[in-house]
Protein backbone atom coordinates (compact mmCIF):
# COMPACT_ATOMS: atom_id res chain seq x y z
CA UNK A 1 0.00 0.00 0.00
CA UNK A 2 2.85 2.35 0.92
CA UNK A 3 4.59 1.63 -2.39
CA UNK A 4 1.35 2.35 -4.26
CA UNK A 5 0.97 5.70 -2.50
CA UNK A 6 4.58 6.59 -3.23
CA UNK A 7 4.15 5.67 -6.89
CA UNK A 8 0.96 7.73 -7.12
CA UNK A 9 2.72 10.69 -5.53
CA UNK A 10 5.64 10.46 -7.97
CA UNK A 11 3.25 10.17 -10.91
CA UNK A 12 1.24 13.16 -9.71
CA UNK A 13 4.39 15.24 -9.31
CA UNK A 14 5.56 14.20 -12.78
CA UNK A 15 2.23 15.09 -14.39
CA UNK A 16 2.12 18.40 -12.54
CA UNK A 17 5.66 19.17 -13.69
CA UNK A 18 4.81 18.21 -17.28
CA UNK A 19 1.67 20.37 -17.19
CA UNK A 20 3.61 23.33 -15.80
CA UNK A 21 6.27 22.91 -18.51
CA UNK A 22 3.58 22.78 -21.21
CA UNK A 23 1.95 25.95 -19.87
CA UNK A 24 5.32 27.71 -19.74
CA UNK A 25 6.15 26.74 -23.35
CA UNK A 26 2.66 27.71 -24.48
CA UNK A 27 3.07 31.14 -22.87
CA UNK A 28 6.38 31.57 -24.70
CA UNK A 29 4.72 30.52 -27.97
CA UNK A 30 2.02 33.15 -27.43
CA UNK A 31 4.67 35.80 -26.85
CA UNK A 32 6.68 34.85 -29.94
CA UNK A 33 3.53 34.54 -32.08
CA UNK A 34 2.48 38.06 -31.13
CA UNK A 35 5.88 39.29 -32.30
CA UNK A 36 5.35 37.86 -35.79
CA UNK A 37 1.62 38.67 -36.09
CA UNK A 38 2.05 41.70 -38.36
CA UNK A 39 4.60 39.89 -40.51
CA UNK A 40 2.24 36.95 -41.00
CA UNK A 41 -0.52 39.26 -42.26
CA UNK A 42 1.94 41.08 -44.54
CA UNK A 43 3.23 37.79 -45.98
CA UNK A 44 -0.30 36.57 -46.55
CA UNK A 45 -1.38 39.73 -48.37
CA UNK A 46 1.72 39.79 -50.55
CA UNK A 47 1.23 36.15 -51.54
CA UNK A 48 -2.48 36.81 -52.15
CA UNK A 49 -1.66 39.70 -54.46
CA UNK A 50 0.84 37.56 -56.39
CA UNK A 51 -0.75 34.11 -56.72
CA UNK A 52 0.71 31.28 -58.80
CA UNK A 53 -0.90 28.15 -60.25
CA UNK A 54 -0.01 24.55 -59.39
CA UNK A 55 3.62 23.55 -60.11
CA UNK A 56 4.32 27.18 -61.03
CA UNK A 57 4.76 28.60 -57.50
CA UNK A 58 8.21 30.02 -58.29
CA UNK A 59 8.06 33.39 -56.49
CA UNK A 60 6.17 31.94 -53.53
CA UNK A 61 8.79 29.20 -53.15
CA UNK A 62 11.58 31.76 -53.41
CA UNK A 63 9.99 33.85 -50.67
CA UNK A 64 9.57 30.84 -48.40
CA UNK A 65 13.11 29.51 -48.97
CA UNK A 66 14.66 32.91 -48.25
CA UNK A 67 12.77 33.15 -44.97
CA UNK A 68 13.67 29.64 -43.81
CA UNK A 69 17.35 30.20 -44.66
CA UNK A 70 17.30 33.44 -42.66
CA UNK A 71 16.25 31.35 -39.64
CA UNK A 72 19.33 29.14 -40.01
CA UNK A 73 17.57 26.05 -41.31
CA UNK A 74 18.74 23.45 -43.77
CA UNK A 75 16.56 24.20 -46.79
CA UNK A 76 15.79 22.03 -49.81
CA UNK A 77 14.16 23.59 -52.88
CA UNK A 78 12.69 22.27 -56.13
CA UNK A 79 11.03 19.38 -54.33
CA UNK A 80 8.24 18.00 -56.54
CA UNK A 81 8.93 20.90 -58.95
CA UNK A 82 8.54 23.96 -56.69
CA UNK A 83 8.22 22.60 -53.16
CA UNK A 84 10.35 23.84 -50.28
CA UNK A 85 11.36 21.87 -47.17
CA UNK A 86 13.05 23.41 -44.17
CA UNK A 87 14.57 21.28 -41.40
CA UNK A 88 14.91 22.68 -37.88
CA UNK A 89 16.86 20.38 -35.58
CA UNK A 90 16.25 21.02 -31.91
CA UNK A 91 19.02 21.00 -29.35
CA UNK A 92 17.54 17.91 -27.66
CA UNK A 93 16.79 14.47 -29.15
CA UNK A 94 13.26 13.45 -29.98
CA UNK A 95 10.73 12.71 -32.72
CA UNK A 96 10.46 14.29 -36.15
CA UNK A 97 7.33 16.39 -36.63
CA UNK A 98 6.23 17.50 -40.11
CA UNK A 99 4.12 20.63 -40.58
CA UNK A 100 2.58 21.17 -44.00
CA UNK A 101 1.24 24.16 -45.95
CA UNK A 102 0.10 24.14 -49.59
CA UNK A 103 1.11 27.03 -51.86
CA UNK A 104 -0.90 26.96 -55.10
CA UNK A 105 -3.70 29.24 -56.28
CA UNK A 106 -6.62 28.61 -58.65
CA UNK A 107 -7.64 29.73 -62.16
CA UNK A 108 -10.26 32.14 -60.77
CA UNK A 109 -10.61 35.87 -61.46
CA UNK A 110 -10.93 37.76 -58.17
CA UNK A 111 -13.91 40.06 -57.48
CA UNK A 112 -13.12 40.94 -53.85
CA UNK A 113 -12.58 44.66 -53.24
CA UNK A 114 -9.41 44.67 -51.11
CA UNK A 115 -6.19 46.67 -51.66
CA UNK A 116 -4.21 43.44 -52.17
CA UNK A 117 -6.64 41.83 -54.62
CA UNK A 118 -5.04 39.71 -57.33
CA UNK A 119 -4.73 41.13 -60.83
CA UNK A 120 -2.57 38.20 -61.94
CA UNK A 121 -3.21 36.17 -65.06
CA UNK A 122 -1.62 32.98 -66.38
CA UNK A 123 -2.09 30.27 -68.97
CA UNK A 124 -4.22 27.31 -67.91
CA UNK A 125 -5.13 24.48 -70.30
CA UNK A 126 -4.17 26.69 -73.21
CA UNK A 127 -6.31 29.65 -72.08
CA UNK A 128 -5.46 32.98 -70.46
CA UNK A 129 -7.13 33.00 -67.03
CA UNK A 130 -7.25 35.10 -63.90
CA UNK A 131 -5.38 33.64 -60.93
CA UNK A 132 -6.58 33.92 -57.33
CA UNK A 133 -5.95 32.38 -53.94
CA UNK A 134 -9.60 31.32 -53.83
CA UNK A 135 -9.00 28.53 -51.31
CA UNK A 136 -6.83 30.29 -48.73
CA UNK A 137 -3.49 28.62 -49.41
CA UNK A 138 -1.90 32.06 -49.06
CA UNK A 139 -2.89 32.02 -45.38
CA UNK A 140 -1.48 28.51 -44.95
CA UNK A 141 1.92 29.60 -46.28
CA UNK A 142 2.03 32.71 -44.09
CA UNK A 143 0.98 30.75 -40.99
CA UNK A 144 3.68 28.14 -41.51
CA UNK A 145 6.31 30.84 -42.16
CA UNK A 146 5.28 32.41 -38.85
CA UNK A 147 5.40 29.02 -37.11
CA UNK A 148 8.91 28.48 -38.46
CA UNK A 149 10.04 31.76 -36.92
CA UNK A 150 8.42 30.97 -33.56
CA UNK A 151 9.89 27.47 -33.28
CA UNK A 152 13.32 28.59 -34.54
CA UNK A 153 13.40 31.07 -31.63
CA UNK A 154 12.80 28.12 -29.26
CA UNK A 155 15.43 25.79 -30.78
CA UNK A 156 17.06 25.13 -27.40
CA UNK A 157 13.79 23.77 -26.05
CA UNK A 158 12.91 21.56 -29.03
CA UNK A 159 13.05 17.87 -28.16
CA UNK A 160 13.31 16.68 -31.72
CA UNK A 161 13.25 17.95 -35.29
CA UNK A 162 10.66 19.88 -37.28
CA UNK A 163 10.21 19.54 -41.04
CA UNK A 164 8.42 22.52 -42.58
CA UNK A 165 6.82 21.20 -45.77
CA UNK A 166 5.67 23.84 -48.26
CA UNK A 167 3.82 21.85 -50.88
CA UNK A 168 2.97 22.75 -54.48
CA UNK A 169 -0.03 21.59 -56.54
CA UNK A 170 -2.52 20.61 -53.87
CA UNK A 171 -5.27 21.56 -56.31
CA UNK A 172 -3.88 19.08 -58.81
CA UNK A 173 -0.93 19.15 -61.18
CA UNK A 174 -1.36 20.48 -64.74
CA UNK A 175 -2.38 17.93 -67.32
CA UNK A 176 0.51 15.64 -68.19
CA UNK A 177 2.48 16.48 -65.03
CA UNK A 178 2.91 14.88 -61.62
CA UNK A 179 2.74 16.96 -58.48
CA UNK A 180 1.49 17.58 -54.98
CA UNK A 181 1.88 15.51 -51.83
CA UNK A 182 2.15 12.21 -53.70
CA UNK A 183 5.17 13.39 -55.70
CA UNK A 184 6.81 14.90 -52.62
CA UNK A 185 6.57 11.52 -50.91
CA UNK A 186 7.99 9.80 -54.00
CA UNK A 187 10.96 12.15 -53.80
CA UNK A 188 11.54 11.27 -50.12
CA UNK A 189 10.14 14.26 -48.25
CA UNK A 190 9.45 12.09 -45.18
CA UNK A 191 12.95 10.58 -45.21
CA UNK A 192 16.34 11.73 -43.86
CA UNK A 193 15.25 12.21 -41.13
CA UNK A 194 12.20 9.95 -41.08
CA UNK A 195 8.99 11.71 -40.07
CA UNK A 196 7.02 10.35 -37.09
CA UNK A 197 3.86 12.49 -37.28
CA UNK A 198 2.36 15.15 -39.56
CA UNK A 199 0.06 18.10 -38.84
CA UNK A 200 -1.81 20.23 -41.37
CA UNK A 201 -4.50 22.90 -41.40
CA UNK A 202 -6.99 24.51 -43.76
CA UNK A 203 -8.56 27.94 -43.44
CA UNK A 204 -12.35 27.96 -43.77
CA UNK A 205 -14.33 30.92 -45.06
CA UNK A 206 -17.56 29.81 -43.36
CA UNK A 207 -16.13 29.23 -39.88
CA UNK A 208 -15.79 32.29 -37.59
CA UNK A 209 -12.36 33.68 -36.81
CA UNK A 210 -11.09 32.24 -33.52
CA UNK A 211 -12.64 28.81 -33.96
CA UNK A 212 -11.01 25.46 -34.77
CA UNK A 213 -12.87 22.52 -36.31
CA UNK A 214 -11.72 18.91 -36.27
CA UNK A 215 -12.95 15.34 -36.72
CA UNK A 216 -11.39 11.97 -35.84
CA UNK A 217 -11.09 9.29 -38.54
CA UNK A 218 -12.57 10.17 -41.97
CA UNK A 219 -12.68 13.97 -42.15
CA UNK A 220 -12.56 14.66 -45.90
CA UNK A 221 -13.53 12.35 -48.73
CA UNK A 222 -11.52 10.25 -51.10
CA UNK A 223 -11.81 11.40 -54.70
CA UNK A 224 -11.68 9.21 -57.79
CA UNK A 225 -12.04 10.15 -61.43
CA UNK A 226 -14.64 8.30 -63.50
CA UNK A 227 -14.86 7.85 -67.26
CA UNK A 228 -17.51 5.69 -68.93
CA UNK A 229 -17.41 5.13 -72.68
CA UNK A 230 -20.53 3.70 -74.33
CA UNK A 231 -20.12 2.32 -77.85
CA UNK A 232 -23.28 1.64 -79.87
CA UNK A 233 -24.06 1.29 -83.55
CA UNK A 234 -24.43 4.54 -85.49
CA UNK A 235 -27.57 5.02 -87.57
CA UNK A 236 -30.00 7.61 -88.93
CA UNK A 237 -32.01 9.37 -86.24
CA UNK A 238 -35.21 8.55 -88.11
CA UNK A 239 -34.52 4.80 -87.98
CA UNK A 240 -33.23 4.02 -84.46
CA UNK A 241 -34.11 0.33 -84.82
CA UNK A 242 -31.28 -0.01 -87.33
CA UNK A 243 -28.63 0.74 -84.72
CA UNK A 244 -27.81 0.80 -81.00
CA UNK A 245 -28.34 4.17 -79.36
CA UNK A 246 -25.46 5.02 -76.95
CA UNK A 247 -27.17 8.25 -75.84
CA UNK A 248 -30.23 6.45 -74.47
CA UNK A 249 -27.95 3.80 -72.97
CA UNK A 250 -25.78 6.45 -71.31
CA UNK A 251 -28.90 8.10 -69.89
CA UNK A 252 -30.01 4.82 -68.37
CA UNK A 253 -26.54 4.29 -66.91
CA UNK A 254 -26.60 7.73 -65.28
CA UNK A 255 -29.94 7.01 -63.63
CA UNK A 256 -28.71 3.58 -62.56
CA UNK A 257 -25.62 5.08 -60.92
CA UNK A 258 -27.85 7.21 -58.69
CA UNK A 259 -29.10 4.06 -56.94
CA UNK A 260 -25.62 3.21 -55.65
CA UNK A 261 -25.63 5.77 -52.85
CA UNK A 262 -29.35 5.50 -52.07
CA UNK A 263 -29.64 1.70 -52.18
CA UNK A 264 -26.25 -0.04 -51.96
CA UNK A 265 -24.29 1.84 -49.29
CA UNK A 266 -24.56 1.72 -45.52
CA UNK A 267 -24.86 5.48 -45.12
CA UNK A 268 -24.58 5.34 -41.32
CA UNK A 269 -20.84 4.81 -41.94
CA UNK A 270 -20.53 8.08 -43.83
CA UNK A 271 -21.70 10.05 -46.86
CA UNK A 272 -20.77 9.28 -50.46
CA UNK A 273 -21.30 10.90 -53.86
CA UNK A 274 -21.37 9.65 -57.45
CA UNK A 275 -21.63 12.55 -59.91
CA UNK A 276 -21.52 12.64 -63.69
CA UNK A 277 -20.30 16.11 -64.61
CA UNK A 278 -20.09 15.83 -68.39
CA UNK A 279 -21.68 13.78 -71.17
CA UNK A 280 -20.54 14.14 -74.75
CA UNK A 281 -21.62 12.43 -77.98
CA UNK A 282 -23.13 13.14 -81.36
CA UNK A 283 -22.75 15.92 -83.92
CA UNK A 284 -26.27 16.70 -85.15
CA UNK A 285 -29.95 16.12 -84.41
CA UNK A 286 -30.71 13.38 -86.94
CA UNK A 287 -27.71 11.11 -86.39
CA UNK A 288 -27.55 8.58 -83.59
CA UNK A 289 -23.81 8.52 -82.88
CA UNK A 290 -21.56 5.56 -82.40
CA UNK A 291 -20.06 6.67 -79.11
CA UNK A 292 -20.86 8.63 -75.96
CA UNK A 293 -18.36 9.52 -73.20
CA UNK A 294 -19.24 10.49 -69.65
CA UNK A 295 -16.89 11.81 -66.98
CA UNK A 296 -17.55 12.27 -63.30
CA UNK A 297 -16.30 12.13 -59.73
CA UNK A 298 -16.64 9.63 -56.88
CA UNK A 299 -16.43 10.67 -53.22
CA UNK A 300 -16.43 8.51 -50.08
CA UNK A 301 -15.47 8.79 -46.40
CA UNK A 302 -14.86 5.08 -45.91
CA UNK A 303 -12.45 2.93 -47.92
CA UNK A 304 -14.77 -0.12 -47.92
CA UNK A 305 -17.60 2.06 -49.23
CA UNK A 306 -15.22 3.44 -51.85
CA UNK A 307 -14.47 -0.06 -53.15
CA UNK A 308 -18.18 -0.96 -53.09
CA UNK A 309 -18.95 2.11 -55.23
CA UNK A 310 -16.31 1.09 -57.77
CA UNK A 311 -17.73 -2.44 -57.95
CA UNK A 312 -21.33 -1.27 -58.40
CA UNK A 313 -20.42 1.33 -61.05
CA UNK A 314 -18.84 -1.39 -63.18
CA UNK A 315 -21.71 -3.82 -62.66
CA UNK A 316 -24.46 -1.29 -63.39
CA UNK A 317 -22.78 0.36 -66.39
CA UNK A 318 -21.68 -2.86 -68.09
CA UNK A 319 -24.95 -4.71 -67.51
CA UNK A 320 -27.14 -1.83 -68.69
CA UNK A 321 -24.92 -1.56 -71.75
CA UNK A 322 -25.25 -5.30 -72.49
CA UNK A 323 -29.02 -5.14 -72.11
CA UNK A 324 -29.07 -2.44 -74.80
CA UNK A 325 -26.63 -4.21 -77.08
CA UNK A 326 -23.87 -1.65 -76.42
CA UNK A 327 -20.30 -2.07 -75.28
CA UNK A 328 -19.34 -0.18 -72.12
CA UNK A 329 -15.82 0.59 -70.91
CA UNK A 330 -15.44 1.89 -67.33
CA UNK A 331 -12.25 3.60 -66.21
CA UNK A 332 -11.85 4.61 -62.55
CA UNK A 333 -8.74 6.58 -61.57
CA UNK A 334 -7.90 6.80 -57.88
CA UNK A 335 -6.82 10.35 -57.10
CA UNK A 336 -6.86 11.28 -53.38
CA UNK A 337 -7.47 8.87 -50.49
CA UNK A 338 -9.70 9.68 -47.51
CA UNK A 339 -8.21 12.41 -45.32
CA UNK A 340 -7.99 10.38 -42.14
CA UNK A 341 -7.22 11.74 -38.67
CA UNK A 342 -5.58 9.06 -36.55
CA UNK A 343 -8.05 8.55 -33.64
CA UNK A 344 -5.37 8.09 -30.96
CA UNK A 345 -3.47 11.15 -32.15
CA UNK A 346 -6.70 13.17 -32.31
CA UNK A 347 -7.47 12.30 -28.68
CA UNK A 348 -3.94 13.33 -27.68
CA UNK A 349 -4.05 16.72 -29.40
CA UNK A 350 -7.58 17.76 -28.43
CA UNK A 351 -6.48 19.25 -25.07
CA UNK A 352 -3.86 21.28 -26.96
CA UNK A 353 -6.48 22.75 -29.29
CA UNK A 354 -8.72 23.58 -26.33
CA UNK A 355 -5.84 25.22 -24.47
CA UNK A 356 -4.86 27.37 -27.44
CA UNK A 357 -8.30 28.40 -28.73
CA UNK A 358 -10.47 27.92 -25.64
CA UNK A 359 -12.68 24.86 -25.18
CA UNK A 360 -15.78 26.71 -26.40
CA UNK A 361 -14.03 27.48 -29.72
CA UNK A 362 -13.01 23.92 -30.58
CA UNK A 363 -15.83 22.23 -32.50
CA UNK A 364 -16.40 18.69 -33.75
CA UNK A 365 -17.18 19.04 -37.47
CA UNK A 366 -19.29 16.81 -39.67
CA UNK A 367 -17.33 15.11 -42.47
CA UNK A 368 -17.17 16.87 -45.83
CA UNK A 369 -17.15 15.43 -49.35
CA UNK A 370 -14.41 17.79 -50.49
CA UNK A 371 -10.93 16.27 -50.72
CA UNK A 372 -7.36 17.13 -49.65
CA UNK A 373 -4.08 15.61 -50.77
CA UNK A 374 -2.78 15.94 -47.20
CA UNK A 375 -4.39 12.49 -47.17
CA UNK A 376 -1.26 11.04 -48.82
CA UNK A 377 0.91 12.30 -45.96
CA UNK A 378 -1.50 10.88 -43.36
CA UNK A 379 -1.29 7.47 -45.06
CA UNK A 380 2.47 7.38 -44.43
CA UNK A 381 2.50 8.37 -40.75
CA UNK A 382 -0.15 9.26 -38.15
CA UNK A 383 -1.64 12.59 -39.16
CA UNK A 384 -3.96 15.27 -37.82
CA UNK A 385 -5.65 17.87 -40.04
CA UNK A 386 -7.80 20.68 -38.65
CA UNK A 387 -9.80 23.65 -39.89
CA UNK A 388 -9.14 27.25 -38.88
CA UNK A 389 -11.84 29.92 -38.89
CA UNK A 390 -11.48 32.73 -41.43
CA UNK A 391 -14.98 34.23 -41.53
CA UNK A 392 -15.58 37.67 -40.00
CA UNK A 393 -17.22 37.23 -36.60
CA UNK A 394 -20.23 39.41 -37.55
CA UNK A 395 -21.06 37.34 -40.64
CA UNK A 396 -23.41 34.37 -40.99
CA UNK A 397 -22.00 31.22 -42.67
CA UNK A 398 -24.83 31.28 -45.24
CA UNK A 399 -23.65 34.73 -46.35
CA UNK A 400 -19.95 33.85 -46.58
CA UNK A 401 -18.75 33.17 -50.15
CA UNK A 402 -17.56 29.56 -50.46
CA UNK A 403 -14.11 28.37 -51.48
CA UNK A 404 -13.12 28.27 -55.17
CA UNK A 405 -15.30 31.28 -56.04
CA UNK A 406 -14.38 34.82 -57.22
CA UNK A 407 -15.85 36.35 -54.03
CA UNK A 408 -13.98 34.09 -51.59
CA UNK A 409 -12.83 36.19 -48.63
CA UNK A 410 -10.73 35.52 -45.53
CA UNK A 411 -10.52 37.72 -42.44
CA UNK A 412 -6.80 37.56 -41.65
CA UNK A 413 -6.96 39.43 -38.33
CA UNK A 414 -6.12 36.35 -36.22
CA UNK A 415 -3.85 34.13 -38.28
CA UNK A 416 -1.66 33.81 -35.19
CA UNK A 417 -4.19 31.27 -33.89
CA UNK A 418 -2.86 29.00 -36.65
CA UNK A 419 0.73 29.83 -35.68
CA UNK A 420 0.10 29.12 -32.00
CA UNK A 421 -1.76 25.89 -32.74
CA UNK A 422 0.95 24.51 -35.04
CA UNK A 423 3.63 25.48 -32.53
CA UNK A 424 1.86 24.04 -29.49
CA UNK A 425 0.99 20.81 -31.32
CA UNK A 426 4.68 20.38 -32.17
CA UNK A 427 5.97 21.08 -28.68
CA UNK A 428 3.31 18.96 -27.02
CA UNK A 429 4.03 15.97 -29.27
CA UNK A 430 7.78 16.27 -28.70
CA UNK A 431 7.40 16.51 -24.93
CA UNK A 432 5.04 13.51 -24.76
CA UNK A 433 6.93 11.20 -27.08
CA UNK A 434 10.51 11.84 -25.98
CA UNK A 435 13.24 10.34 -28.12
CA UNK A 436 11.76 8.54 -31.13
CA UNK A 437 13.21 6.40 -33.86
CA UNK A 438 12.91 9.11 -36.48
CA UNK A 439 15.71 11.29 -35.03
pLDDT score of 24: 85
Catalytic residues: 104, 170
Stretch 379-403: mean pLDDT: 98
Stretch 134-160: mean pLDDT: 98
Nearest to 184 by CA among 197, 202, 170, 205: 170
Q: For 110-236, list the strands marked E by DSSP.
A: 121-124, 127-130, 159-167, 197-208, 212-214, 217-220, 222-231, 235-236
State yes or no: pLDDT of 2 exceeds 70.
no
For CATH 3.40.630.10, the residue range(s) in the chain are 2-221+338-433
pTM assigned to the model: 0.92
DSSP code string of 253-264: HHHHHHHIIIII
- Fold of the domain spanning 2-221+338-433: Aminopeptidase (3.40.630)
pLDDT in tens, 297-329: 999 999 999 999 999 999 999 999 999 999 999
pLDDT score of 6: 58
State yes or no: pLDDT of 27 exceeds 90.
yes
Distance in Å from the first CA to the final CA of the chain: 40
CATH code that applies to domain 222-336: 3.30.70.360
State yes or no: pLDDT of 371 exceeds 90.
yes
pLDDT score of 438: 46
Task: Output the average pLDDT for the chain.
Answer: 95
pLDDT score of 19: 62
State yes or no: pLDDT of 143 exceeds 50.
yes
pLDDT in tens, 48-61: 999 999 999 999 99
Confidence of residue 23 (pLDDT cuts 50, 70, 90): confident
Stretch 21-29: mean pLDDT: 85
Confidence of residue 3 (pLDDT cuts 50, 70, 90): low
CA dist., res. 24 & res. 101, Å (int):
27
For residue 58, count other CB atoms closer than 10 A to its CB: 12
Confidence of residue 434 (pLDDT cuts 50, 70, 90): confident
pLDDT in tens, 92-107: 999 999 999 999 999 9
Axis-axis angle for helices 137-152, 416-433 (nearest 10): 50
For CATH 3.30.70.360, the residue range(s) in the chain are 222-336
DSSP code string of 59-125: HHHHHHHHHHHHTT-EEEEEETTTEEEEEEE-SEEEEEEEEEEE---BS-------TT----EEEET
State yes or no: pLDDT of 226 exceeds 50.
yes
pLDDT in tens, 248-287: 999 999 999 999 999 999 999 999 999 999 999 999 999 9
Amino acid sequence: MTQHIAYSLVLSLFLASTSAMAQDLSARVDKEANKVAEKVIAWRRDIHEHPELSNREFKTAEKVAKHLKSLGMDVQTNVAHTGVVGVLKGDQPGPVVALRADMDALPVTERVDVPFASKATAEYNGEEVGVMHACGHDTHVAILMGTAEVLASMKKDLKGTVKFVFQPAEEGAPEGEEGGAELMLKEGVFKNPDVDVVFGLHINSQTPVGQIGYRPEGEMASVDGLEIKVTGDQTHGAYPWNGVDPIVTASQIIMGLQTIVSRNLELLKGPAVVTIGKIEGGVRSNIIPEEVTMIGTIRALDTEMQEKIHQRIREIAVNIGESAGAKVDVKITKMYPVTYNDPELTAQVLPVLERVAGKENVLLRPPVTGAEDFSFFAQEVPGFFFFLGGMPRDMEPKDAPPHHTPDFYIDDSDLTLGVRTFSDLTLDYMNKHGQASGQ
